[in-house]
Structure 1
């Protein structure tokens, strides 16, 4: 049979031994967690050494480069079909030898050069090999992570393992899949994309392909839906028998084939930032026996009468409410007084319901801000993703919090939905047989990535030398003075023809920046919670000479900003940070928008002692010290206080994620007698 005939035929597949593969749930003891935390401190320090140890893959790849280049297209495709056999033979415990991986990398690189017109750099091969070894590759923004992933994805798929390629939004998943699909198809691999809004049949078909692109949220929620079916049909044998039953006697079809291999783009955002919120699937119908509106209204009214630091407090360094003993006594008195009223709400008289709803009401009043945590659109509360700055119209807060936010804004509370399944991101990702990822800012989270996921970080060098310049932070006493300085600096850069990207923390901050620029008559583009495709198009144009772009947290992440010749001559892209975020990693992500691939660029930070990071009871002491230093030595001396406060917030968020893991573990043990809630 000719080589072409081999390509026309459907690829031969070895039957799966496991019908739905997933790694067993890891049950860490207290001693295990202590050991992981201690070991994580050492693992975090070896990122550069770990990347250096990856270099043998380059020698193996070059050893096969000449032979691959000598093949014509048909020969290269025949080699890809042969690779399905020798890669499977070389696979041992989800790991390939460096010799087998190097040969496959040479094949994929040659195919990419012919099909896409793109040839992988050596540093991209290092990043791909790190991911295949179950590591997180830290690669500077602009180093071509999308192309880098194709080496790991194609090699893994050719070895007979399905690959889930995850990214942070639907636009990037669809874009990356479309751009790289010609390469995968040339190699005889099938590829599909899972997007929000697709029906179950379309998703089930997509999950049957060799390579599946999608967001972490969509794939995780599909897994939770599968778990509901797996609880009814436990055991590998039962699921295989189910396939041979008549159609009318089968259980509902599973969507995924299991959790084989995952490659995560922007891994720190997915594994760290988004891991503070559990995955919850609620019923489509309102919860049966749910609480009436009157109970929510009574709890909100009670919360409004409580006084901070008397009845409740906001603990230092934690975004949380604590009701104090005097607060519980005040609530008890309110419930007793309600007994004498004809319109008494019986549910408010139950302590556990009363205290929970008042806690949620206090959280809505003091922790969730309009224009930051949520916006109002079409008379509804829409959540703003704090990691991306985008709205999530199909998502609601659970446990009565959403209803309390609605009451806070004078809206009618919507009906509660019943929680059907619940799981943390930490437990979900640890069930993959093999997990790897890439991002530009993994080093700052190296300890947590190891202690939670057992993922080590490899710091891959840049292809070209980084020539960005960093200005010293400028700190102002007031927000007013800060925005005035930002506007004046932007006007000067605009006059010089330099492109400017102003990064903000919230929608409110973006509106403030836009108002200041408008006062000076400066034309600019404003990005807040727009659609992903429009957002990416605007960000892609941010590198034109004289262009001014204002963007919320991480807007347009994953989209290259290409500089025009005039912009390069003007010193490249100028990134202005208008305030520090809760995590240093998010600041680094914004800083990484300039200076890509050896291009010039400059980073400047304009900060204020009235920024969000310095607000709230937890920041009072730090803010007070900063003001004393500013008066004594000038505003610049207060800069280290802002960084100190940022470290406090990083530690607080880390504790919240750890608490979530413990809570999830405890819930699983509590429900073990009847099956876990997942």
Structure 2
């Protein structure tokens, strides 16, 4: 991608055309795209990044001795040069140097060279892979401010409201000193508040709120998205849809935790729903749930828990057909009845309380599996939410019908310019390039990483694993170390907390049930002898500050108690220790009854591994190999799911465009 960007749009306009059109590539185009990615990766290893970083340092030398007024006087001519010429290397060096000097004076934080490198990479429309703890929030200010000074509306995208609000608050003094306005979009805001936030030069927003606001704008435009018509309505002042739009196009996005947003969450499309206007037939759903409850696994249905997949067998379909004869007219439709039983089986076997959802105040609330946070206003589609409400004895809500739908892949490809940053991208760099056109470059660390990795220990049962975890926590606690124990689910965190409590060890729990207390819990997690039990919500975006005594004792120690669906998530959790040159260590304490093995005990390899672990003297190598093998298998499956969703979404988009509709 070119480092020079010519501006075509003044920042104050709301132009529905400011996005990249959908396009389905041919096979030949996809191959050429992959080849281009290889060339770009090789070129990225050249010396251009260090040369441009050195240029930023040289440009900053003359700014050090300037007064506050003289420094402020540099802003206007810089904006004019950026508006006129775009992102020429000389202008970018001047901009980065100016922002860095303002940051040092206002925030007391001066960007180091690895942060400058990360910002340069993002300004060129790439993903900067930066080691955890390298200061990605501060890095993004260089890219965001430079783009905003050039007149581009910038979206800085994070994974949750807490990080979004925190980053917006912390960076606002710097941006205001540069003459830039800052907005923040989080859950619960009114349309007017959102419109004002999107009207700012730089807008911090969560990925989900951003996509849903985009879909709301598409519903506002309805089937008449012609920008000329929208502009004419605005000029006439009568019933203008332009005045009701929230956003002003998709110009430039900087995605924090890019692998989480663009890869992990891309398996599920985003859907805006509306009430159907009629109450769902409770009797039909209860009948489906009761029928599914009598189904026998491996006879009536097949279940793969690791891949979260259920398949009805011929015997199961025959049972549904027999039941339909006695259950009446609601069961006459083949697709509808089989779909309802399939969803009921999903509710019974794949969705568990305190794992995928909580029951709070008599309502089923979804837990975001990637952030560990509750999403109180979200619901599952196709009757699944209502079936789970029946399963838990909650009041039944109305089923909601889809009004607009889009996948993350299709949405983010529409940005005119897209960039990202994360600590874990190398495992998915090919997918980032093939889907989003994002090349990935790994940045050097500011200080050497001295984090130590201890060997995983694998036990036959969960009970053996928890006993070993508690023993290890007690040992580290007595050494004065700070301990962070990572669990995959809320239920697992509560189970471990109960065992730690029985052992008489002090501890704090951080999960979806304590999401409002995150900052306080994290602030105490680096104290001597502290024990923090956390789901993956604590794994990204927040720093654990170590007390001097903890640093002297060896730093933070992280215990991974269960592998996740992707090795990157485990690596992020491990990256909570040993940040910015701090001492630290991590290890895995696992079992063959963990999530990755659920539903796999019929596999000869699993049975062989159990025999090896329980009957031989050297079981660990085989068990570790098997765990990694299962994890890679799930990773490949999830990649196929994302690829298929993307292709289906593209095909559906083409059909809807042909019919004259947007989404």
TM-score band, normalised by the shorter chain? over 0.9
Report the equivalent of 2:129: 138
Report the equivalent of 1:397: 380
- SS of the equivalent of 1:671 reads helix
Moved more, 122-131 or 652-661: 652-661
Distance 1:665 1:74 in 2: 52
Report the equivalent of 1:374: 357
CA contact (8 A) 2:362 2:395 kept: no
Report the equivalent of 1:156: 147
CA contact (8 A) 1:266 1:439 kept: yes
| Equivalent position to 1:27, from 8, 13, 24 | 24
CA contact (8 A) 1:51 1:130 kept: no
Q: Give the TM-score taking structure 1 as reference length.
A: 0.92
Distance 1:507 1:471 in 2: 26
Matched, 1:663 2:648: yes
- Correspondences of 1:567-582 after superposition (within 5 Å): 567-582=550-565
Report the equivalent of 2:333: 350
Distance 1:238 1:618 in 2: 61
Report the equivalent of 1:108: 99
Distance 1:596 1:475 in 2: 27
CA contact (8 A) 1:51 1:126 kept: no
Describe the shift of the 1:15–1:607 C-alpha distance in structure 2 as closer, same or farther (beyond 3 A): closer
Describe the shift of the 1:488–1:654 C-alpha distance in structure 2 as closer, same or farther (beyond 3 A): same
Describe the shift of the 1:187–1:487 C-alpha distance in structure 2 as closer, same or farther (beyond 3 A): same
Describe the shift of the 1:15–1:257 C-alpha distance in structure 2 as closer, same or farther (beyond 3 A): closer
Report the equivalent of 2:290: 301
CA contact (8 A) 2:14 2:248 kept: no
- Correspondences of 1:549-560 after superposition (within 5 Å): 549-555=532-538, 557-560=540-543
Report the equivalent of 2:75: 80
Matched, 1:360 2:343: yes
Report the equivalent of 1:201: 192
Report the equivalent of 1:174: 165
- SS of the equivalent of 1:299 reads helix
Q: For each residue in 1:547-593, what CA deviation from the matched residue of structure 2 results, as whole angstroms up to 9, or x when unmatched?
A: 11000123262111111110011100000111111110000000000
Matched, 1:225 2:210: no
- Correspondences of 1:286-435 after superposition (within 5 Å): 286-289=275-278, 291-314=280-303, 318-338=307-327, 344=328, 346-435=329-418
Matched, 1:494 2:477: yes
* RMSD, aligned CA: 2.2
Distance 1:134 1:614 in 2: 39
- Correspondences of 1:544-623 after superposition (within 5 Å): 544-555=527-538, 557-617=540-600, 620-623=603-606
Describe the shift of the 1:415–1:17 C-alpha distance in structure 2 as closer, same or farther (beyond 3 A): closer
Report the equivalent of 1:264: 255
Distance 1:629 1:36 in 2: 46
- SS of the equivalent of 1:580 reads coil
Per-residue deviation at 1:52? Answer: 5.3
- Correspondences of 1:40-51 after superposition (within 5 Å): 42=38, 50=45
Q: Which runs of 5+ in 1 are unaligned?
A: 1-11, 339-343
Q: For each residue in 1:335-387, what CA deviation from the matched residue of structure 2 results, as whole angstroms up to 9, or x when unmatched?
A: 1233xxxxx2x221111111111111111111112221112112221111111
Distance 1:618 1:50 in 2: 45
Matched, 1:89 2:72: no
- SS of the equivalent of 1:544 reads coil
Distance 1:17 1:25 in 2: 20
Report the equivalent of 1:6: none
- SS of the equivalent of 2:64 reads helix
Q: For each residue in 1:78-116, what CA deviation from the matched residue of structure 2 results, as whole angstroms up to 9, or x when unmatched?
A: 21111111012222xxxx232221111111111111111
- Correspondences of 1:173-192 after superposition (within 5 Å): 173-192=164-183
Moved more, 643-652 or 235-244: 235-244
Per-residue deviation at 1:438? Answer: 0.6
Q: Which runs of 5+ in 2 are unaligned?
A: 1-8
Distance 2:490 2:46 in 1: 38
- Correspondences of 1:243-262 after superposition (within 5 Å): 243-248=234-239, 253-262=244-253
Distance 1:621 1:86 in 2: 67
Distance 1:189 1:647 in 2: 45
Per-residue deviation at 1:633? Answer: 4.3
- SS of the equivalent of 1:55 reads helix
CA contact (8 A) 1:171 1:532 kept: no
Describe the shift of the 1:257–1:530 C-alpha distance in structure 2 as closer, same or farther (beyond 3 A): same
Distance 1:568 1:668 in 2: 54
Per-residue deviation at 1:599? Answer: 0.7
Report the equivalent of 2:6: none
Describe the shift of the 1:44–1:527 C-alpha distance in structure 2 as closer, same or farther (beyond 3 A): farther
Matched, 1:635 2:619: yes
CA contact (8 A) 2:539 2:572 kept: no
Describe the shift of the 1:618–1:583 C-alpha distance in structure 2 as closer, same or farther (beyond 3 A): farther
- SS of the equivalent of 2:63 reads helix
Per-residue deviation at 1:673? Answer: 4.1
Moved more, 26-35 or 357-366: 26-35
Distance 2:33 2:607 in 1: 37
Per-residue deviation at 1:450? Answer: 1.1
Moved more, 653-662 or 410-419: 410-419
CA contact (8 A) 1:420 1:677 kept: no
Size of the alignment, in residue pairs?
Answer: 653
Distance 1:659 1:19 in 2: 28
Distance 1:250 1:388 in 2: 35
- Correspondences of 1:514-553 after superposition (within 5 Å): 514-530=497-513, 532-553=515-536
CA contact (8 A) 2:133 2:543 kept: yes
Per-residue deviation at 1:413? Answer: 2.9
Distance 1:39 1:477 in 2: 47
Report the equivalent of 1:644: 629
